[in-house]
Structure 1
Amino acid sequence: MLVFSIIASALAPGLALLTYFYLKDRYDQEPLHMVIKVFLLGVLVVFPVMILQRGMILWLGDHPVVQSLLVSAGIEEFLKWFVMYHIIFNHTEFDEPYDGILYAAAISLGFATVENLLYAWYSQAAFGPMFLRALLPVSGHAMFGVIMGYYIGHARFSGESRKRFYLALSFIVPWIWHGLYDLILNLLTHTWIWFIVPLMVLLWYGGMGKISRANNRSPFRFINREEEINT
């Protein structure tokens, strides 16, 4: 029973957030099997991340700034971006800007769910710490995914002259936010909560705006409106 409770508490936040982002797709919902596949890709990303992070620590050391910006944020966001670009970016199902947000959030939440499961399993965490992790690391990864996906959506539906610019932003911007998040945790060991909470509020506020703007740029928005008028 304890094992079941640990697994359930670790899986619930990521699956709940994934469901939320799936339902936020207003005009042309993605095939559920595609979203699940991308979520599982996020799960698989954990293993190369762990290997690369171990190698980076042995090479560069574990200084908090290096750990935050390169070992944690840099490697994690780059590999998630790598999967998005090489597997999702040119996929036929990626047919509206919001799809970038959904798929990037799915990858991030797959990654965060495994991370959460490992933490719960090895620490035998109680409800309080697991609830805090749902509000912070899992939610944080979701927001980094929203930011990444927002700019990838821009890149997918922009002209060639702007495509590289938005692709660069799709990695750089979530990397900066993720690095800032980790810097707060690693450097402000006693007062981190006073900085993390405002940061998360800011990320969620900005993320909700990006979701709304991405939906508003959907080509299916006008098709659906015409169908409603005709009926």
Structure 2
Amino acid sequence: MLLFSVIASAVAPGLALLTFFYLKDKYDAEPIHMVVRIFLLGLLVVIPVIIIQRGLTLGLGTHPFVQSFFISSGVEELLKWLVLYFIIYNHVEFDEPYDGIVYAVTISLGFATVENFMYAWYSQASIGTMFIRALLPVSGHALFGVIMGYYFGLARFRKVNNTKRYLVYSLLIPWLFHGIYDLILTTVTDYWVWLIVPLMVLLWYGGMDKVIRANNRSPLRFQKREEEVNT
């Protein structure tokens, strides 16, 4: 019974958010087998993240800034970015800008689900604590994924010079927000909620704007309109 409760409270938020962003794809939903594959890679990427973070902690120490921006957010966002770049970026199924968001959110939530499960299992967290984690770290990972995926989509499909800069943005901007998020939680003890809530509101507002923008840039949008007119 305890194991079931831990699994349910740890897994449900990630699956709910994944479903939410998956259904936001207005024109051509991604194959389920691809989404499952990337989600599983998100689960597995936890292993090298833990190994690298432990090694960096031994070498760089535990200063909050170093921990937040380099050991925590730096390693996590870099490894997720590398998986997306080498497996998804040139994949045939990556055929519209919003797909970048789908796959980046998927790998982020795969990672967040394992992280959430480990926290729930080892800390014996209450339902209230897991609810807060669903609102903060789990949704935070999803929104960092939205940012990463949005700029992946721009790099892949925007027909302008120097699109490579969008690949840089796809790593640096989620890394920056993730680092700020972690730094607040590790350095502010009494009034952290007054900083985290505005940050999460900003991330949700910006994330949903990027969802709309990515869908509006889909080359399939005009094809769908033509089909509707012809019918």
Q: Identify the residue that residue 99 of structure 1 maps to in structure 2.
A: 99
CA deviation map 1:179-225 (0-9, x unaligned): 00011001112211110011001100000000000000001111011
1:1-231 correspondence runs (5 A): 1-159=1-159, 161-231=161-231
What one-letter code is carried by the residue in structure 2 that aligns with 1:82? L
Question: Displaced runs of 4+ in structure 1, greater than 2 A?
Answer: 158-163
Structure 1 segments unaligned to the other structure (5+ residues): none
What one-letter code is carried by the residue in structure 2 that aligns with 1:24? K
CA deviation map 1:54-96 (0-9, x unaligned): 0000000011110000000100000000001011000000000
Distance in 2, matches of 1:109 and 1:189, equals: 27
Shift of 1:159: 4.0
Distance in 1, matches of 2:86 and 2:106, equals: 15
Distance in 2, matches of 1:117 and 1:229, equals: 48
Distance in 1, matches of 2:2 and 2:79, equals: 33
Alpha carbons of structure 1 residues 37 and 203: separation in structure 2 relative to 1, 3 Å: same
Deviates more, 1:185-194 or 1:128-137: 185-194
TM-score (norm 1): 0.99
Alignment RMSD, CA only? 0.8
Distance in 2, matches of 1:161 and 1:155, equals: 10
What one-letter code is carried by the residue in structure 2 that aligns with 1:100? G
Deviates more, 1:61-70 or 1:151-160: 151-160
Shift of 1:161: 3.0
Shift of 1:158: 2.7
Distance in 2, matches of 1:4 and 1:105, equals: 25
What one-letter code is carried by the residue in structure 2 that aligns with 1:64? P
Alignment size in residue pairs = 231
TM-score (norm 2): 0.99
Shift of 1:162: 2.3
- Give SS of 2:45's match: helix
